A = this chain, B = another copy of it.
Amino acid sequence: MKMEIVANDTLLTGALEDIQRDVDAGFDSFLPVPQDQRARLVEAMRYAAIGGGKRLRPLLVTATASLFKVPRATALRAGIAVEAIHVYSLIHDDLPCMDDDALRHGKPTLHKAFDEATAVLAGDSLHALAFEILASPNMTGDPFTRAELVAALAGASGHEGMAGGQMMDMVAEQEGEAFDLHAITRLQQLKTGALLGASVELGAILGRVPPEGRAHLHGYARDIGLAFQIADDLLDLEGDEEKAGKALRKDEEAGKATFLSLLGPDRARDQAQMLVDQAISHLNAYGEEADLLRAIARYIVERDR
């Protein structure tokens, strides 16, 4: 048992190192700096996209796709597209009119390092890049798969998904609306869950798993999505700002309803662990080829940033 955990730790550590290196290299190759006044825009995109972040979403894409023996290079491209959406959302979230954050991944946020207008444009450009990557014939030879990838990612990131969740969060904060556990769960399923779910979905699409065959993977994604958010809430309370590379304890200061404020730290921790166990049980149909997905589920609540 001990041996197995160690093996899985090694599996995860290696996988995280690989994905971080490969996502950086991918953004580097997608974003050559042009020799004209657009250089500033591309430099801003590179500043935000390269060298930072755990790359959990690309890792979920590649780990899921590997269940179905999808070539890693193909899954990696799709993973970079999801990460481009994630990075654009962080850039826009950090803006003064949104969360007004000064630090991200341990360095100044994009609008601090460049300026607000450049940050808006760089976010928009990474947003477009995501769909350019997925729709390109370089993605996969099968146009049906490409169209399905685009539809899944656009649906998860737009007003019915991530952006909708962000609006619910803003309304909750501005109007001090009484959010109960049900409402917080719904909010977080959209705000962070939709894109984590899309990461697993993209892996399944690349694996040509038909929609009716994706129920276990959807269950896994739903559970790790909520566990991720509870762990984030706990890190916001108990974490180390230097390791996190961003300002913490903003939720508490804002008096915002979170899983943590509703459950308290002990029940929140139990709930996260229960969700991880449940997520892993959704993978029972798979053998050791799903060990990385299992390790990711555990990592989601055990990480320190």
Contacts and interface: CB of A to CB of B under 8 A. Distances in A.
Interface of A: 31, 34, 36-38, 40-42, 45, 88-89, 92, 95, 97-98, 115-118, 120-121, 123-125, 127-129, 131-132, 134-137, 143-144, 146-148, 150-151, 153-155, 157-160, 163-164, 166-168, 170-172, 177, 186-187, 190
Contacts of A153: 131
A165 to B, nearest CB: 8
> Most chain-B Cβ atoms within 10 A of its Cβ — which of A120, A134, A135, A168?
A135
A157 B120 CA distance: 14
A151 to B, nearest CB: 4
When A and B form their complex, which 3 residue pairs have the shortest distance between CB atoms, in order from nearest?
A128-B158, A97-B116, A135-B150
Nearest to A44: B167
Number of copies of this protein chain within its complex = 2
Nearest to A172: B37
13 contacts: A37-B171, A38-B168, A40-B171, A121-B167, A121-B170, A123-B124, A124-B124, A124-B163, A125-B164, A135-B151, A137-B151, A143-B143, A143-B144
Contact of A163 (B34, B128, B144, B177): B128
Contacts of A117: 95, 97-98, 170
Contact of A92 (B89, B124, B144): B124
A70 B176 CA distance: 50
Nearest to A145: B143
A37 B177 contact: yes
Contact of A135 (B36, B147, B163): B147
A154 B172 contact: no
A88 B45 CA distance: 19
A129 B160 CA distance: 10
A128 B151 contact: no
Contacts of A160: 34, 38
Contacts of A136: 151
Nearest to A144: B143
A153 B166 CA distance: 26
A97 B97 CA distance: 10
A171 B117 CA distance: 11
Contacts of A128: 127, 154-155, 157-159, 163
A37 B167 contact: yes
A168 B92 contact: no
A147 B222 CA distance: 28
Given A34-B164, A38-B160, A41-B159, 12 more contacts: A36-B168, A38-B159, A38-B168, A98-B117, A98-B120, A124-B124, A124-B127, A129-B154, A131-B154, A137-B147, A143-B144, A143-B146
